[in-house]
Amino acid sequence: MKNVTVKVDNLSFGYNSEKVLKNINVEAKSGEITGVIGPNAAGKSTLLKCIAGMLEPDKGNVFVNGNNVQKMQNKKISKIVSYLPQDQASNVVLPVLEAVLLGKVHSLCWKVTEKDLEEAWNILEKLGIDYLAERGLNELSGGQNQMVNIAQSLIGMPDVFLLDEPTSSLDLRHQIGVMDLIKNITQDEGISTLISSHNLEQVVRYADKLIVLNSGCVYASGDVESILTTDMMKSVYGVESEIELTKNGVPKVTLLSSTER
């Protein structure tokens, strides 16, 4: 079981002169799923990319297990942090098995070993897409492609797992399947998982903590119950809503109307 810490320390980032993230201070823990929510252009994807070391912040730092991500090489980062971008369809003529193996590109030797293959098979089975192993990515549907992407991100068993809208292209059954799997792996392996999503219902159901971003600032962060309030919904999303606890203890948001005309 890993013991992972993610600490975003006073982070600011801008594309050209426009500030996208302003003085962000958040943390994420081992074995927990942290939901990153907020309206369009709140900076959710940018925050994940900064944590993945893919964007150079203007100010501030990201620490994973106490190591400054900005000072690490891509190769090293990729061994501890896995980033799954918002999905795009792929037309690559490449067998699924090889696409999954690419997830551990930096540990592949000249010849693909039995261990590599077993790891790939293992994750394909866990995701229930082992039957796709021989097919080409170009033959898959959008949802199947995303399942392969998830397998690719998980094969290296990262410490930190960053997912940008991971289930938006999946059908309901696979949404639940994938989220259950991510929840289990997160807890069993002690991974720290951050998921950005517009799907509030889903985030609330699976996340342990929430980070609410609004116009590049942290509006609030903490436990789901304390964060998810009608006030937050109103001031961040601009909607009137009702929030109630369902039978199994999961908050349910019902949208009433938009406050903006």
Partner 1 sequence: MGYNMAEYSEETGPGIKDIYSKINNRKKLLVSILGLLCVAIFLLDIAIGSSWLSIKEIVFAMLQEGNRINKIIVWEVRLPMSLAALLVGASLGIAGAEMQTILDNPLASPYTLGVAAGAGFGAALAIVVGVEALPIWKGTLVSLSAFLFALVASLMIYYIAKLKNASKEMMILAGIAILFLFESMLSLLQYFATEDALQEIVFWLMGSLQRSTWMDLGILFFILVPASLWLTSKRWELTSLRLGDERAKGIGIDVEGLRLRTLIVVSLLTAVAVSFTGTIGFIGLVGPHIARMLVGESQRFFLTASALAGAILLLGASIGSKLVIPGVIFPIGILTSLIGIPFFIGLILTQRGGYWG
- Write out the residues near partner 1 by the rule CB under 8 A: 52, 54, 74-75, 77-79, 82-85, 88, 90-95, 97-99, 101-103, 105-106, 108, 112, 114, 117-118, 120-122, 125, 130-131, 133-134, 136, 138-139, 149, 152-153, 156
**C-beta of 131: minimal distance to partner 1 in Å?**
4
Question: Closest CB to partner 1 among 72 and 239?
Answer: 72
Q: How far is the CB of 132 from partner 1 (least distance, A)?
A: 9
* Contact of 76 with 53, CB cutoff 8 Å: no
Longest dimension (CA), the chain: 61
Nearer to partner 1, 131 or 222 (CB): 131
- Find the shortest distance in angstroms from Cβ 241 to partner 1: 33
Per-residue burial over 106-129, b = 16 or more CB atoms within 10 Å of its CB, e = otherwise: ebeeeeeeeebeebbeebbebbeb
Nearer to partner 1, 85 or 177 (CB): 85
Q: Distances from the Cα of 36 to the Cαs of 164, 185, 212, 224, in angstroms?
A: 9, 19, 6, 11
State the burial class of residue 227 (Cβ atoms within 10 Å of its Cβ: 0-12, 13-18, 19+): buried
Nearer to partner 1, 165 or 241 (CB): 165
The answer to whether the CB of 209 falls within 8 A of the CB of 34 is yes
Task: Between 126 and 252, name the residue whose CB sits nearer to partner 1.
Answer: 126
Q: Which two tokens stand for residue 125?
A: 């089975």
Provide, rounded to whole angstroms, the least separation between the CB of residue 145 and partner 1: 10
Residue 200 CB, nearest approach to partner 1 (Å): 25
Q: Which candidate, 232, 250, 251, places its Cα nearest to that of 42? A: 232
